[in-house]
A and B are shown apart, each in its own frame.
Chain A
Amino acid sequence: MRPPRRILIGAASYADARAALRLARQLAVTLQAEVRGLLVEEAILSDLPRLARQRVVTASGALHDVPTARQAARMIEHDAKAFQSGLAELSATARPLERRRGDLTVAMWEDAREWDVVVYGLREFHGLGGRIVLIAPAAGTARDAADLAEDLAWAAGTTAIALGLATCSDTGADETFPDAAALLARISRLNCAAVVLDRAAGPIRSVDQLRALLAAAHCPVVLVGQPTGAVALPE
Chain B
Amino acid sequence: MKTLAAQDLCKTCDPKTFGFRSTEDLAPFDGFLGQERALDAIRLSSEIPHRDFNLFVLGPTGTGRHAAVQKILSERAATCEAPSDWAYVNNFEAPDRPKALRMPTGTAVRLRHAMEALVDDLANEIPALFDSEEYQAQRRGIEEELGEVQEARMADFADRAKSEDVALLRAPTGFMLTAIIDGKALKREDFEKLDETRQAEIDEKISRLQDDLAAVFRDAPKLEKEARKRIESLNAKMAERAVSARIAEVAPDLSAIEAVASHLEAVHADIIDNADVFLAAAAEKNEGPFPGAIRKFHQEPEFGRYSVNVMVSHGGETEHGAPMETEDLPTLGRLTGRIEHVSQMGSLVTNFTMIKPGALHVANGGYLILDVRRVLSEPYAWDALKRCLKNRSISITSLAERLSLVSTTSLQPDPIPLDVRVVLVGDRLLHALLTMFDPDFGELFKLEADFSDEVDRDEASLALFARIIGAYARREKLKPISADGIARLLDEATRLAGDSKKLSLRLGALADILREADHYAGGRGSDLTTAADIETAIGEKERRAARIKERMQEAIARRTVLIDTEGAKVGQVNGLSVVVLGDTAFGRPSRITARVRMGTGKLIDIEREVELGGPLHSKGVMILAGYLAATYAHDVPFSLHASLVFEQSYGGVDGDSASSAELYALLSALSGLPIAQGFAVTGSVNQLGEVQAIGGVNEKIEGFFDVCVGRGLTGDQGVLIPQANVEHLMLRRPVVEAVEAGKFRVIPVTTISEGIETLTGTDAGARRADGTFTEGSVNERVETRLRVFAETRRVFARSRPGETGEGGEGDT
User: Which A residues are closer than 8 A to B by beta carbons?
Assistant: 12-16, 42, 44-45, 47-64, 66-67, 72, 75-76, 79, 122-123, 125-131, 157-159, 185, 188-192, 215, 218
Residues of chain A within 8 A (CB-CB) of B202 are 49, 51
Asked if A126 and B224 sit within 8 Å, CB to CB, the answer is: yes
Main secondary structure of the interface of A (DSSP, over half): loop
Residues of chain A within 8 A (CB-CB) of B185 are 44, 48
Main secondary structure of the interface of B (DSSP, over half): helix
Residues of chain A within 8 A (CB-CB) of B187 are 44, 47-49
Asked if B151 and A54 sit within 8 Å, CB to CB, the answer is: no
Asked if B172 and A48 sit within 8 Å, CB to CB, the answer is: no
Asked if A128 and B223 sit within 8 Å, CB to CB, the answer is: yes
- Kindly identify, within residues 508 to 551 of chain B, every residue whose CB is under 8 Å from any CB belonging to chain A: none
| Bound-complex Cα distance A218 to B155 (A) | 10
- Kindly identify, within residues 362 to 379 of chain B, every residue whose CB is under 8 Å from any CB belonging to chain A: none
Asked if A130 and B144 sit within 8 Å, CB to CB, the answer is: yes
Asked if B176 and A61 sit within 8 Å, CB to CB, the answer is: no
Residues of chain B within 8 A (CB-CB) of A42 are 169-171
Asked if B176 and A66 sit within 8 Å, CB to CB, the answer is: yes
Residues of chain A within 8 A (CB-CB) of B199 are 49, 51
Residues of chain A within 8 A (CB-CB) of B215 are 61
Asked if B188 and A60 sit within 8 Å, CB to CB, the answer is: no
Residues of chain A within 8 A (CB-CB) of B136 are 157
- Minimum distance in angstroms from A155 CB to a CB of chain B: 14
Asked if B191 and A188 sit within 8 Å, CB to CB, the answer is: no
| Bound-complex Cα distance A57 to B171 (A) | 9
- Kindly identify, within residues 135 to 175 of chain B, every residue whose CB is under 8 Å from any CB belonging to chain A: 136, 140, 143-144, 146-148, 150-152, 154-155, 158, 168-175
Residues of chain A within 8 A (CB-CB) of B169 are 42, 44-45, 48
Asked if A13 and B147 sit within 8 Å, CB to CB, the answer is: no
Contact of B786 with A by CB under 8 A = no
Asked if A128 and B170 sit within 8 Å, CB to CB, the answer is: no
Asked if A72 and B172 sit within 8 Å, CB to CB, the answer is: yes
Asked if A58 and B218 sit within 8 Å, CB to CB, the answer is: no
Residues of chain B within 8 A (CB-CB) of A72 are 172
Residues of chain B within 8 A (CB-CB) of A123 are 170
Asked if A49 and B154 sit within 8 Å, CB to CB, the answer is: no
Check A188/B176 contact, CB under 8 A, given A45-B169, A60-B217.
Answer: no
Residues of chain A within 8 A (CB-CB) of B211 are 63
Asked if B178 and A57 sit within 8 Å, CB to CB, the answer is: no
- Minimum distance in angstroms from A88 CB to a CB of chain B: 20
Contact of B398 with A by CB under 8 A = no
Asked if A54 and B176 sit within 8 Å, CB to CB, the answer is: yes
Asked if B174 and A58 sit within 8 Å, CB to CB, the answer is: yes
- Minimum distance in angstroms from A22 CB to a CB of chain B: 16
Residue of B nearest to A58 (CB): B174
Residue of A nearest to B224 (CB): A127
Asked if B174 and A129 sit within 8 Å, CB to CB, the answer is: no
Asked if B172 and A75 sit within 8 Å, CB to CB, the answer is: yes
Contact of B192 with A by CB under 8 A = yes
| Bound-complex Cα distance A59 to B179 (A) | 21
Residues of chain A within 8 A (CB-CB) of B175 are 56-57, 59
- Across the interface, B171 reaches (CB within 8 A) one of A13, A129, A191, namely A13
- Kindly identify, within residues 201 to 230 of chain B, every residue whose CB is under 8 Å from any CB belonging to chain A: 202-204, 206-207, 210-211, 213-221, 223-224, 227
Residues of chain B within 8 A (CB-CB) of A47 are 187-188
Residue of B nearest to A74 (CB): B172
- Minimum distance in angstroms from B200 CB to a CB of chain A: 9
Asked if A125 and B217 sit within 8 Å, CB to CB, the answer is: yes
Contact of B186 with A by CB under 8 A = yes
- Across the interface, A158 reaches (CB within 8 A) one of B140, B191, B218, B219, namely B140
| Bound-complex Cα distance A101 to B300 (A) | 55
Residues of chain B within 8 A (CB-CB) of A64 are 173-174
Residues of chain B within 8 A (CB-CB) of A215 are 158, 168
| Bound-complex Cα distance A90 to B199 (A) | 46
Asked if A53 and B143 sit within 8 Å, CB to CB, the answer is: no
Asked if B170 and A54 sit within 8 Å, CB to CB, the answer is: no
Residues of chain A within 8 A (CB-CB) of B223 are 126, 128
Q: Nearest 9 CB-CB pairs, A to B?
A: A191-B147, A61-B218, A49-B191, A61-B217, A53-B207, A128-B147, A13-B172, A58-B174, A188-B155
Asked if B155 and A61 sit within 8 Å, CB to CB, the answer is: no
- Across the interface, A45 reaches (CB within 8 A) one of B146, B148, B176, B219, namely B176
Return 22 A-B CB contacts under 8 Å, by A number: A13-B172, A45-B169, A48-B178, A52-B203, A53-B203, A55-B176, A57-B217, A58-B217, A61-B216, A61-B220, A126-B147, A126-B150, A126-B220, A128-B144, A128-B224, A128-B227, A131-B140, A185-B155, A189-B148, A190-B151, A218-B151, A218-B154
Check A125/B151 contact, CB under 8 A, given A53-B207, A56-B174, A191-B144.
Answer: yes
- Minimum distance in angstroms from B489 CB to a CB of chain A: 90
- Across the interface, A159 reaches (CB within 8 A) one of B140, B174, B190, B214, namely B140
Residues of chain A within 8 A (CB-CB) of B148 are 189-191
Residue of B nearest to A56 (CB): B174
Asked if A189 and B151 sit within 8 Å, CB to CB, the answer is: yes
Residue of B nearest to A123 (CB): B170
- Across the interface, B151 reaches (CB within 8 A) one of A58, A59, A62, A191, namely A191
Residue of B nearest to A14 (CB): B172
**Most chain B Cβ neighbours within 10 Å, of A47, A157, A191:** A191
Q: A42-B170, A53-B204, A125-B217 are in contact. List 19 more A-B contacts (CB 8 A).
A: A12-B172, A14-B172, A15-B173, A42-B171, A45-B169, A49-B187, A49-B191, A53-B203, A54-B210, A57-B174, A58-B173, A72-B172, A75-B172, A125-B220, A127-B220, A128-B144, A157-B136, A188-B154, A190-B151
| Bound-complex Cα distance A58 to B174 (A) | 4
- Minimum distance in angstroms from B462 CB to a CB of chain A: 94
| Bound-complex Cα distance A52 to B206 (A) | 10
- Kindly identify, within residues 45 to 87 of chain B, every residue whose CB is under 8 Å from any CB belonging to chain A: none
- Kindly identify, within residues 388 to 414 of chain B, every residue whose CB is under 8 Å from any CB belonging to chain A: none
Asked if A60 and B218 sit within 8 Å, CB to CB, the answer is: yes
Residues of chain B within 8 A (CB-CB) of A185 are 155
Asked if A188 and B188 sit within 8 Å, CB to CB, the answer is: no
Asked if B210 and A55 sit within 8 Å, CB to CB, the answer is: yes
Check A51/B203 contact, CB under 8 A, given A61-B217, A129-B147.
Answer: yes
Residues of chain B within 8 A (CB-CB) of A56 are 171, 173-176
- Minimum distance in angstroms from A100 CB to a CB of chain B: 15
- Minimum distance in angstroms from B622 CB to a CB of chain A: 103
Residues of chain A within 8 A (CB-CB) of B155 are 185, 188-189
Asked if B192 and A75 sit within 8 Å, CB to CB, the answer is: no
Residues of chain A within 8 A (CB-CB) of B204 are 53
| Bound-complex Cα distance A169 to B187 (A) | 42
Residues of chain A within 8 A (CB-CB) of B186 are 48-49
- Minimum distance in angstroms from B387 CB to a CB of chain A: 58
Residues of chain A within 8 A (CB-CB) of B219 are 61
Residue of B nearest to A191 (CB): B147
| Bound-complex Cα distance A202 to B188 (A) | 36
- Minimum distance in angstroms from A30 CB to a CB of chain B: 20
**Most chain A Cβ neighbours within 10 Å, of B150, B173, B192:** B173
Check A16/B171 contact, CB under 8 A, given A51-B206, A128-B150.
Answer: no
Check A48/B176 contact, CB under 8 A, given A58-B217, A62-B214, A159-B140.
Answer: yes
Residues of chain A within 8 A (CB-CB) of B190 are 49
Residues of chain B within 8 A (CB-CB) of A59 are 174-175, 217, 220
Residues of chain A within 8 A (CB-CB) of B140 are 129, 131, 157-159
Residues of chain B within 8 A (CB-CB) of A76 are 172
Asked if B176 and A67 sit within 8 Å, CB to CB, the answer is: no
- Minimum distance in angstroms from A97 CB to a CB of chain B: 15
Asked if B168 and A189 sit within 8 Å, CB to CB, the answer is: no
Residue of B nearest to A12 (CB): B170
| Bound-complex Cα distance A51 to B192 (A) | 10
Asked if B143 and A128 sit within 8 Å, CB to CB, the answer is: yes
| Bound-complex Cα distance A61 to B192 (A) | 29
**Most chain B Cβ neighbours within 10 Å, of A48, A53, A56, A185:** A48
Residues of chain A within 8 A (CB-CB) of B213 are 57
Residue of B nearest to A48 (CB): B178
- Across the interface, B192 reaches (CB within 8 A) one of A49, A58, A67, A128, namely A49
Residues of chain A within 8 A (CB-CB) of B173 are 13, 15, 56, 58, 64, 67, 75
